[in-house]
Chains A and B, each alone.
Chain A
Amino acid sequence: MKGKDKRLAELRDAIPEITPGEARALLAAGQASLVDVREPDEVAQGSPAGAERIVRGFLELRIEDRVTDKERPLLLLCAGGVRSLFAAENVRRLGYGDVRSVAGGFQRWKAEGLPVEVPKMLTAPERERYARHILMPEVGEAGQLALGRSRVLLIGAGGLGSPAALYLAAAGVGHIGIIDDDVVDRSNLQRQVLHTDASVSQPKVESAARTLHGINPLVEVRGIQQRLDSSNVEEVFAGYDVVLDGSDNFPTRYLVNDACVKLELPNVHGSVFRFEGQASVFWPTYPGRRGPCYRCLYPEPPPPAMAPSCAEAGVLGVLPGIVGLLEAIEVVKILLGIGDPLVGRLLHYDALAQRFDEFRLDPDPDCAYCAPGRPFPGYVDYQGFCAGP
């Protein structure tokens, strides 16, 4: 008798087995967890509906994050009921009190006509590319798939949009829209790292798409070479999950705010001036906490004389790198549903002092745009609104 067979006989005595039908009944009643421990290429052909999927090689490392109740019956399933026996013994040692192996495995499950689903899975190249994400339980394969299904719209392919776009593409956000009507100017290159010297005079959205495809050809990039205004904003925003505001002027910032409030989209805000930056998330309908919109923070824009632009006053080239990436992190957190977003919080960064300060932001209870129960008051003449008295 081979050592393997001897060991299997011992395991059959030690580990209780359960039929696929019984396993399905317990799972359907919410009285057990079912974990499919087969390899990704096997699972890609089909897996029991409602099962967790943790490849056996990572089972001990990941199961405690996915199956937290150690008293509940834990049912392990492989292809034929052998690997699940070996796996069960190890999982028991982690403290699971009632571990059972599904007899006959997935072959019998399928033969008995029990419900099967073909889970959307990462391909092998995707698994390789996103390996450092997948290792973290906060992302994992499910999170990476969620990023791949996500659609993020960047307002501007400039100083803030550049770093954000690079990292969102690298992170595997499936669809990135970028709206910018401008062309690349050599004076942009000190901070707008999406573009290269060779792309001077070319449309920014074309240069951006080229760079992003170079980083991650799996990502779909939609370049929109238009100026955002009241007439196109809802059409442009349609279908996106999150908007990242990297615009460089007040009229666009108020327009982005108003459209995001109306469409209930999270508006991830960043703005910079010389050596300082601000970041927040304006999302009044965030389920976790009631926060303000941009208008609650700044009901009116500054008179132009009191608000020089970066073109007039300058900006440290590295600064939008920091602030744009703070925005990108907020986007990824929102898409994954992890962590605490900057809703109701303003992060202020001072590069010269090298310090971050955080401030609490309360919503205006009477805000004409975001106060609950108010009808949307409509878009305004944003150029006129920001031109001062």
Chain B
Amino acid sequence: MARVTVQLPSVLSIVVGDERRLTVEAESLAAALEQLIERWPGLRGHLFDEAGSFREHVLCFHNQTSTRWLPSLDVPLAEGDVVTILQAVSGG
């Protein structure tokens, strides 16, 4: 199990409240996201569509790298990794 930092965008504070930077222990990226969803079930609909695909207006970064073009989120995590969720925002 790796201890990793997860960062969430403030646009998701409607689901996660103020807890936008937290530590979780997980073996893979998919498992880390599942832990978050277990804690905040409303998060699932924000991250995944009805077919279970990662939503196209949401970005997930494993450290500095986007997971958009990976075949799956079963990416092993290492101690100290950072997982960041971002979402398209339109404000200007």
Contact = CB atoms under 8 A, between A and B. Distances in A.
A315 B88 contact: no
Given A278-B86, A353-B21, A273 B66 contact: no
B41 interface: no
A204 B90 CA distance: 19
Contacts, number: 103
A299 B56 contact: yes
Contacts of B65: 359-360
Given A306-B46, A348-B86, A248 B66 contact: no
A300 B49 CA distance: 12
A301 B88 contact: yes
A159 B91 contact: yes
Counting chain B CB atoms within 10 Å of each CB, the highest count among A306, A315, A362 belongs to: A306
A80 B84 CA distance: 66
A302 B92 contact: no
A309 B11 CA distance: 10
B9 A253 contact: no
B28 interface: no
Contacts of A161: 92
B39 to A, nearest CB: 19
How many B residues are at the interface, by size bracket?
20 to 34
A307 B92 contact: no
Interface of A: 156, 158-161, 245-250, 253, 270-276, 278, 297-302, 306-310, 313, 315, 320, 346, 348, 350, 352-353, 357-362, 364
A245 B10 contact: no
A359 B56 contact: no
A360 B84 CA distance: 12
B86 A309 contact: no
Contacts of B58: 302
B64 A272 contact: no
Given A276-B10, A278-B86, A310 B64 contact: no
Given A307-B11, A362-B66, A249 B90 contact: yes
Given A158-B92, A272-B91, A301 B66 contact: no
Contacts of A346: 59, 86
29 contacts: A159-B91, A248-B90, A249-B90, A250-B90, A270-B92, A271-B90, A271-B91, A272-B89, A274-B10, A276-B9, A276-B11, A298-B57, A298-B59, A300-B55, A302-B55, A302-B58, A302-B87, A306-B46, A307-B88, A307-B89, A308-B11, A310-B92, A320-B92, A350-B10, A358-B64, A359-B59, A360-B66, A361-B66, A364-B69
